[in-house]
Structure 1
Amino acid sequence: MASPLMSRAALRQTSRLRISQSQTQWVRHASSNGQPRRSAARWAGLVAVGVASGAAVYAYPLVFKKEEAPSTPQFEQAELVFEKPRGKAASKEENRELVSSQHVQVKKSWEHPGVYVWGSNAGKVVAPDSNEAVIKTPRRLAYFDGQILRDLKLDRDFGVAVTENGDLVQWGVAFSKTETAPTVTLKGKNLVKVAISRDRIIALSSSGSVYSIPVASDDQAAGSSTKTNSSWIPFWSSSPAVNYRSLNPKDLGWGEKVVDVSSGLEHCLMLTSKGRVFSAASSSLDFPSKGQLGVPGLTWQTRPEGTYDQPHEVEKLRDSKIKSIATGDFHSLALASDGTVFSFGDNSAGQLGVQSDLGRPYADAPTPVPLSKLYSGTNFLPQVTSIAAGGQNSYFTIDATKVQGPVGGKEVVPARDLGKVAVDIWACGEGIKGSLGTGKWTHISSAPTKIKALSNLNEYDEKSKTVVPIRVAHLSVGSDHACAVMGNATNLSASGQASGNDTNFGADVLWWGGNESYQLGTGKRNNVNAPTYIGELDGGHGDAEGSHRFQITPRKTVRLGEGGTGRKASVEQRIECGRLVTAVYSGA
């Protein structure tokens, strides 16, 4: 008897993506005598497998030959899965959360402000109640849940924060070996910023007063007035709760006050509202001895009468109108309003932006950094816009504008390219752990090197309908690692009236450098010599390279708390790279 022939129409019917039960009956009943045949059943299994895998089915006439059925089936019957009816459509907000991890991050930063910390826990700074040696990925510090802070600084052995109302909070084994939880110490000074040295805290108040506070709680509880003290073993000024010293520069002009402070391990810089710079010792253990004070010839032996930590004006910067200061462990940077950068202090790794001299590895007087030489022979006019420093490293952000070169020059710039700006980031110093971010491992820098991964980046601006450069909004530098907050386009205005596909998203953040204590937040221990992303703070997906990488939330006035039902506040997320530790916090 001849085997049945399957029609083209029947075969085409089996190639549909969704197969109902009624559509499979013709397969089960196909035979010459009305009885089911095993070969036809095997064909149904093949069709179901092909449909499930999404493969194309072509309709050719096929003839089945009569054959004896094997003792065991050659193919198992495929299980057919039928599509279930979809439920009620999601709300706009639910849809935003489904399509965008960044939207969820922004929402969480507003609903649950606080502090995330990771890295070395040797000093009980990251996890005060844990005996873990390291914390590999971001973890919330429960004490600060729901709080926004004015400032935060971290060392491996102690942490310092300024609350929203200007009080000082301290924790870590260097503060107290018995009290592990963060504790409010100095109150009522309306602090706005802090810097930390090896064993002291430099705190700036809103009025411009500067206080030097010992880190250890035992030192805070001891001491007496220092008005007439000149001993190197310091006795702190007293207050009812915490002893401190005042570091107020003398001879300030009318209306002039200190507006910024920065500190290395042994020294600090103070910037006034009139662009003057003062330096002072900021450690109780060692007097600055590597020229980082910027006062030629100043040593412990040659210091003037008075307290050891009295401020000294950096006179060589008096006429330069300084607008920004930065400090590494033993070196200093100052940026003038005209774009000139001055450096002084330790240069053993080339961190001053000039080649190190082994015979004299430091400079005790401010010297201009020859950054314009980096663009020699090009048609770019450089202008330094920001500086940063930490450990043995320095960083410079430069706006390089395309200009027409001299007549007869090698390159003729088309008119359409004139005025275009390339934003570059340059780094110098010690890079054996990758802290230069240049993709190389370098012991000593002979000159600044461009961080190509962060330089000459552009994006399309929807408002201006033009391509604009992406700048670095902020650099945070620790002892051997750093991060860059990018100034890329962000959106914080997605609302109930907007489309469900209109989502909030923040700014990109990239990290590089030493990682022996997991301070980069990658969850791995290897050092990284080029900027890289990390995953979400809450570890929701961990896809750092894909759509689930961490983005930071820029400043926005919102209502805090679940569902935006709390108090109204202006808040942003900030990053602090410290000594082997890192934090992201909600900043006031």
Structure 2
Amino acid sequence: MAYAYYYPGMKTVEEPIFSTKVAMDHAKTKGYPLNEENRDSLSSQHDQVKKALENPGAYAWGSNKYCVVDFESNDTVVKTPRRLHFFDGVLLRDLKLDEKSGAAITENGDLVQWGKGFSETNFKPTRTLTGKNLLSVCMSRDRIIALSSDGSVYSLPISKADQQTGPKQREGWLPFYSSISSLSYRQLRPNLGLGEQITALSGGLEHVLLLSDAGRVFSAAAATEGFPSKGQLGIPGLNWLTRPQGPVDSCHEIKTLRGYKVTQIATGDYHSLVSDKDGRLFVFGDNSFGQLGIQFDPTSPFKDTPIFFPLKSLYPGKDSFPKATGIAAGGFNSFLMVDVQRLTVSGDEKLSAKDACPITVDTWAFGKGIYGTLGNGRWTHLQDTPTKVKSLSNLFEYNERAQKISPIRLRGISVGTTHAAAILGNQTHLNLSEKSTGSSLTDANWGADVFWWGGNEFFQLGTGKRNNIPVPTYINPPVDIDNMDGDTRNTRFQIIPRFRGKVSGRKISFEQRVECGRNVSAVYSAV
């Protein structure tokens, strides 16, 4: 069993458990001052988090051939995290990056686009779809799909030229007070029940999944060219020739999932995953690299009907009870986070709550591992049997407040085309005094550990080197928030958890998030 506890100067995630006092004593012996007067220099991690809280913004790195990572530079690649100055002091609702274009939702719900995929002549950040109070966004091969706060779903071309020349809708309800929209867009309109609305979306290169607050899932074509043909819509027999009359991007309810209240959706380039409130997992779409986690069949390389994934097959034996708690997908890869409760009884003894052992949390990966994207230390072309990501599994820490050992879960995984990143849900605040509240910049704050792995041809891992990495690894923090005194004692890029602080003179709750795209990566401050 691997135990973990995080303190300044720790070199690995697999360390013995320490109590807070022991960890603090250990830090003192390493030369970290802990008195009130020197709290600002408590550790390189605390110093980094403090600066990130004081200076919200966005960092990006990787391929810059299309001026997405740094639209002010002629560099074709950016090797390490670099600040996007356009977003200095700015909080975002969402951000998505592709190699050719970028898209972000501002704090007030407007869409901002940039990159040469958006415009060859004016590729700097530009507000496009405004006044819709957008919450989140995803990008297909050539379109942007955006979700608004009222559940409306908008589909518009990535290209600025297509936005200007394409058909435009009339906006407004009253004939004399309506107007023509300033750019071309369409609305995706699933057949919702009374009071039901869309609350989440996730998209691949040609398709998008929509999740409603009733737990229903809808799918639709999401690209101008290339109707989904690999089963990723989850509708049996649906293709270009059999599609029903009406718009090509009509929404289809995935009726196979009726009866299951779906709570999470995830999509790769050509495949889809969904999980329900009871931790059941369903997969459909392309399986040419085993990204569905089921046996690859060359005579039937994709599945157009959701297939129940037997989590129990990952944990043989009668005393293990697995439950899917998180899913992620991108490119030709899939990741699955599982809570496992084990019961220690024998014979015909009746199972009861008192027999339960502490929950173990594991991360599994399957799909195309030739770039190291599975994170399991292997270079595998096709992986149709899920393998455990050991560095992100079976981790624990001692919870001082609860006075017990607790599993360390993942805050989330972001998956790009060939690389991925994961944020650990480790404890990020240690009270050093009775007056410490955890809400002040003078408190002892640690960031959440973030790991990167997979393909690195365009320096998208942020290590400054080009070699692919098949296991999760730390990277160095951006130079502008690294220790100013030159202290390099095990500094590593960390992500600030949700925090209530002042931005531009106003108090607001925000956090940092990670985004992995097609050969690019980003970390940004989000409301």
Distance 2:245 2:345 in 1: 55
- Please state how far the C-alpha of 1:510 moved relative to its aligned partner: 0.8
Q: Residue 557 in 1 paired to residue 497 in 2?
A: no
Deviations 1:311-367 (A, max 9, x none): 011110111111110000000001011211110000000000101101110000000
Secondary structure, aligned partner of 1:105: helix
> Please, which runs of 5 or more residues in structure 1 have no aligned partner?
1-89, 228-237
Distance 1:464 1:171, change over 3 A: same
Instruction: State the distance in 2 between where 1:437 and 1:534 align.
Output: 15
- The one of 448, 468, 473 equivalent to 1:507 is 448
Conserved in 2, the CA contact under 8 Å of 1:351 and 1:394?
yes
Distance 1:374 1:405, change over 3 A: farther
Report the residue type matching 1:243 in the other structure: S
Aligned-pair distance for 1:556? Answer: 1.1
Matched, 1:585 2:524: yes
Q: Determine the structure 2 residue equivalent to 1:377.
A: 317
- Which position in structure 1 is the counterpart of 2:398? 460
Residue of structure 1 aligned with 2:375, choices 413, 437, 455: 437
* Residue in structure 2 matched with residue 140 of structure 1 by the alignment: 83
Separation (CA, whole Å) in 2 of partners of 1:186 and 1:501: 40
Counterparts in 2 of 1:177 and 1:501: CA distance versus 1, 3 Å: closer
1:442-492 Cα shifts (integer Å, max 9, x gaps): 111131100011100001111111111111111111111111110111118
In structure 1, the partner of 2:194 is 254
Give 1:149 deviation, angstroms: 0.3
Instruction: State the distance in 1 between where 2:435 and 2:356 align.
Output: 42
Task: Name which of 526, 535, 554 aligns with 2:476.
Answer: 535
- 2:512 matches 1:573: yes
Q: How far, CA to CA, are the matches of 1:111 and 1:495 in structure 2?
A: 22
Per-residue CA deviations over 1:188-219 (Å, capped at 9, x if unaligned) read: 00000001111100000000000001000000
Give the structure 2 partner of residue 485 of structure 1. 423
> More strand by proportion, 1 or 2?
2
Give the secondary-structure state (helix, strand or coil) at the position aligned to 2:274: strand
Alignment of 1:148-187 (within 5 A): 148-187=91-130
Mapping of residues 133-532 of structure 1, within 5 Å:
133-224=76-167, 239-250=180-191, 252-377=192-317, 379-404=319-344, 407=347, 418-491=356-429, 498=436, 503-532=444-473
Deviations 1:366-409 (A, max 9, x none): 00112210101363211111111110011111111111355189
8 Å CA contact 2:327–2:335 kept in 1: the answer is yes
Q: Distance in 2 between matches of 1:339 and 1:263?
A: 22
Instruction: Letter of the 2:522 partner, please give it.
Output: A
Deviations 1:498-538 (A, max 9, x none): 59996211111111111111111111111010010011123
* Secondary structure of residue in 1 paired with 2:477: coil
Q: Within 5 Å, which residues of 2 pair with 1:38-57?
A: none
- Distance in 2, Cα, partners of 1:545 & 1:292: 46
Q: Separation in 2 of the partners of 1:498 and 1:316?
A: 52
Query: Contact 1:95–1:501 (CA<8 Å) still a contact in 2?
Result: no
How far apart, CA to CA, are the structure 2 residues paired with 1:268 and 1:286?
13
- Does structure 1 retain, via aligned residues, the 8 Å contact 2:416–2:517? yes
Query: How big is the shift at 1:291?
Result: 0.4
Bigger Rg over Cα: 1
- The structure-2 alpha-carbon separation of the partners of 1:508 and 1:103, relative to structure 1 and needing over 3 Å to count, comes to same
Partner deviation per Cα, 1:275-300 (whole Å, 9 max, x = no partner) = 00000000012110000000011111
Amino acid at match of 1:131: N
- Change in CA separation of 1:503 and 1:260 when aligned onto 2, cut-off 3 Å: same
Structure 1 residue 306 displacement after superposition: 0.5
Give the C-alpha shift of residue 496 in structure 1. 11
What is the CA-CA distance between 1:118 and the residue it aligns to? 0.4
Distance across 1 between alignment mates of 2:401 and 2:278: 30
> Residues of 1 paired with 2:490 and 2:399: CA distance?
21
Q: Distance between the aligned counterparts of 1:330 and 1:553, measured in 2?
A: 32
Contact 1:93–1:496 (CA under 8 A) maintained in structure 2: no
Structure 2 unaligned blocks of 5 or more: 1-32, 171-178
Q: Deviations over 1:118-154 (max 9, x none)?
A: 0000110011121111000000111111100000000
The one-letter code of the counterpart of 2:209 is: L
Q: Is the 8 A contact 2:286 2:292 kept in 1?
A: yes
Contact conserved, 1:534 with 1:544, CA < 8 A, in 2? no
How many residues get paired? Answer: 482
Match for 1:520: what amino acid?
A: L
Cα distance in 2, alignment partners of residues 91 and 530 from structure 1: 34
Partner amino acid, structure 2, of 1:460: Y
Identity %: 54
Answer whether contact 2:275 2:282 (CA < 8 A) is retained. Answer: yes
CA distance in 1, matches of 2:430, 2:88: 22
Cα 1:366–1:545 shift into 2, 3 Å: farther
